[in-house]
Structure formats: structure tokens, C-alpha cells
Structure 1
């Protein structure tokens, strides 16, 4: 079996390579690619491999972009620490989906699934990825009922309490073990709700849990930057007291939330 690994973490790539070669002796790792650009170039210059193990979050973007630039004519197993809601989409639209850190037993099952499909379909393996279907499935599963989403939040100012409409909110955040809301007019108020409680009650179309410290509002986002180790940095207005960093694992979800 000819294998191509697309993974920008060298330790993870070596581990995957070793694991596959132990599970499927005779496997030839044709290439270990670390970026969207390298993957596109390699696929244009070489015959399709028998299998691609493909991480979603790469150093220069999402591996979804590979499919937009070149036709991928081989089975794909996605390997990523992606959110749980996506599992069904990947299961349906690719050979398999493996959650990092990859377990040997799960990888073995994926390889067995590939071999079973080859026995049935031969070279006409219907296992290449239809990215249009996959991305549509991801967006569909990301949607949540909004009928019961809160449209206001009760805030405190001294001895006074009053409601603030969620349309006026730029972000919710935690600082020094207290929880606050910051409005688009740059006013800050203390609130009694935790970010976990707010995350469950806010409209997910308008609000995104960026990290443990921040929930951000869609219209407050002004810019997104690539950050170290495939993370993202989000700028919002009014400017917060600290940088809002999106983890590698949540970066793909943020992109979908922003409309990718």
C-alpha cells in the first residue's frame, strides 16, 4: 500500500507512520506533507496513493482547501482533534475519522474497512471525499435550535441591576474568577452567570465560545490572524484586555461559524 501522510506535527507524523507500517507491513510512505500548498503540489505531480491520512488543521490553513485546488482520487482517513458534532459527517463522507491521539486499535479498524471496500469495489472504490457534501453536513450539524436562546442578560452596577440585550454584547469574559459582559459601546458589567451557563443559553449562530476565558459575538469580530502552532488570534471591538486565542482544535469550528 502506498500511503501519504498530511500532518504538520513531526512527532505525530512519525508515530502515525510507524503505526501504519506495523499494522500493514509492506506499506510505503510516499510522502509526509505539512501544508496545504505542499499537498496540492504533490498531488498534482504524482499518481494518487492508495490512502491519505489527512489532518484537518495545517500550518497554512485547513486541509479542506486541498480539495478545492486539486482532485483527490484516493480514500481519505481524517485525523484530527475535531469537535464531536463532526464525527457523523466524517464517517459518512470519508473512509473514516480518527480522533487524536490516534489509538492503534481504531487505526487498525480503519485500515480493515479500507481493505473490505477494496475487495468489494476494486479500483472503483467509492471512498474519495465529496467535500461539498462533507462541508454541508458539518454546517447542518453545527446549527442548533434558537427558539429558547436568551435575548437579554441581567447585569449589575453597584446596587443596581438592569437588563442588557444580547444584540448589544461584544463579549463575555472571565477575569480574576469573576464574570463580565462587555458591550459594543465599551461598557463593562459584572454578571452572575458562568461562561458555561451562558454558552448553553446563547444563540450559537451569534455567539462562539472562543476559549475558557471568552465568548465572542459575531458582529464584534473584526479580524482573524494565523497564530503559532496552527492556532488563530481573533480581534474584536471594543478591544479586550488580552489576546483572544483560538486553539488548534477549535480553529476549524471558528471558521465554520464565521461562514467558511
Structure 2
């Protein structure tokens, strides 16, 4: 089986090559490339490898740029120094990752996973590697979204800047979206809750239901409610009951730190 290593540090190439020789001597390292452009050129002008080990940070950019330029014809095992938590999102299906410094047992496990997937694909009709969506997840993890930090809202005849850290919750009322500040001031805002949900840091704001998007600091009490729902007491107090559905209750508890 031919393997391509995409890595811009020569020492890392040598270490991985040595580990592969120990763990899987049947693998042959066909080549090593050190950049986005070099990898694109290699894949365009050489027979496709059967497996690619690919570092995220390369000499001239980040490796997911390769997928934007050409079709990558082989499954990929990413090698990276990024924290494990940050990249769990793309450790699914045909994509795997190895956290540097690479350990022999982790390398063996990744190769075993690849072999099992490869064997399945030889005997059954399976969809192509879901690389596009996984790379997009990786992009979002490596370059987190720039979340909104403030809103400019109208108050009487003035425009008032309000920092997101001052907003206890957003809510929908009679077709209008508003927010309540920690100081219990109320302002309308020109976005729907669905839009706001994408603008705000999900570590800080949770969509409790169709009507409320709440800040974690505004949650004062959590009560069990009938049909396995949760009832939330906010500060400042909301005008309506704030309920979390049975389907979202587990996610809410996890968000709160359970």
C-alpha cells in the first residue's frame, strides 16, 4: 500500500516514516510533500496514494486548502498539534487524526480503522468519503467564528451600543425580537432568533425553545417539569414561562456543565 506524507517538518516526516515501518511494514511511503502547492502538484501528476497522512499547518497555508483546489483521491489521517477537544468534530467516518507527538498505539489504531473501512468498501457499495463537510467542521474549529460582541439598538431618539455580555436573554414577542439586559432594560433588535443563534457564542447562549435564547449567566434555577421538560428561572425574570423541551433537556444540562 502506497502512502503519501504531507508534512513540512523533515524531522516529523522521519519520525512518522520510522513509526510506520515498525507498526505496518507492508506500507510504503511513496513520497512526502511539504506544502499546499507541492501536494496539489504531486496528486495531479502521480498515481493516487491509497492513504494520506496530512499535517494541518503547512509551509504555505493550511492543508484543507488542498481540498479546495483538487479532488483528494484517498482517505486522510490528519496529524496535528491542536488540542484533542478542538478537533473531535471530524473524527468520524473515513477521517481520523493523530495528535502530535504521534504514539505507536494511536498510529496502529488509525491504520486498523482504515483497513476495516477499506475492506468494507471492497465488498459493498458505500458513499464516497464525506470530506467536504468534515473539512468545513475542521475549518470552523481551527478558525472559530467571530461572534458578535455588541449590538447597536435604538432607544427613543438615540442609538445605544449594548455589549453582548450585558444581555441576559433574547426573546420573541408578537413578531418582534427583543433582548433583556442584566440591568432589566428592554430593547428591540433587528434579527430573528434563528439569525442570532448563529451570531452568538454557543458556549454562552442556548436556544431554550422557539421563543427564548438565554445567556448562561442568566440561569438562576432549573426545575423538573412534566413530560421530562425543564422549567428555567431567569434573572431578570422573563415575562413567560421558559421551558426546555424533553428532546433538548440533555443538551441543556450538558451546556450548564453536567
TM-score norm. by structure 1 comes to 0.52
Aligned residues: 156
Q: Which has the higher contact order (CA 8 A, sep 6+)?
A: 1
Return the offset for 1:78: 0.4
Asked whether 1:69 is paired with 2:69, we answer yes
Asked whether 1:135 is paired with 2:133, we answer no
1:17-38 deviation line (CA, Å, top 9, x unaligned): 1101211112111111000010
- 5+ unaligned residues in a row in structure 2: which ranges? 152-160, 165-199, 203-258
Task: Describe the shift of the 1:140–1:19 C-alpha distance in structure 2 as closer, same or farther (beyond 3 A).
Answer: closer
1:175-203 deviation line (CA, Å, top 9, x unaligned): xxxxxxxxxxxxxxxxxxxxxxxxxxxx8
Show the counterpart of 1:14: 14
Could you say what the CA RMSD is over the residues aligned between the two structures, in angstroms?
3.3
1:198-243 deviation line (CA, Å, top 9, x unaligned): xxxxx869xxxxxxxxxxxxxxxxxxxxxxxxxxxxxxxxxxxxxx
Q: Check conservation: 2:94, 2:129, Cα contact below 8 A.
A: yes
**Partners of 1:27 and 1:77 in 2: how far apart?**
14
Runs of 4+ in 1 over 4 A off after TM superposition: 123-127, 140-146, 164-167
Task: Describe the shift of the 1:110–1:45 C-alpha distance in structure 2 as closer, same or farther (beyond 3 A).
Answer: same
Return the offset for 1:103: 0.9
Task: Describe the shift of the 1:95–1:136 C-alpha distance in structure 2 as closer, same or farther (beyond 3 A).
Answer: closer
Task: Describe the shift of the 1:11–1:133 C-alpha distance in structure 2 as closer, same or farther (beyond 3 A).
Answer: closer
Structure number with larger C-alpha Rg? 2
Aligned partner of residue 86 in structure 1, secondary structure:
helix
**Partners of 1:129 and 1:11 in 2: how far apart?**
31
- 5+ unaligned residues in a row in structure 1: which ranges? 152-163, 168-202, 206-260
Aligned partner of residue 26 in structure 1, secondary structure:
coil
**Partners of 1:68 and 1:85 in 2: how far apart?**
25
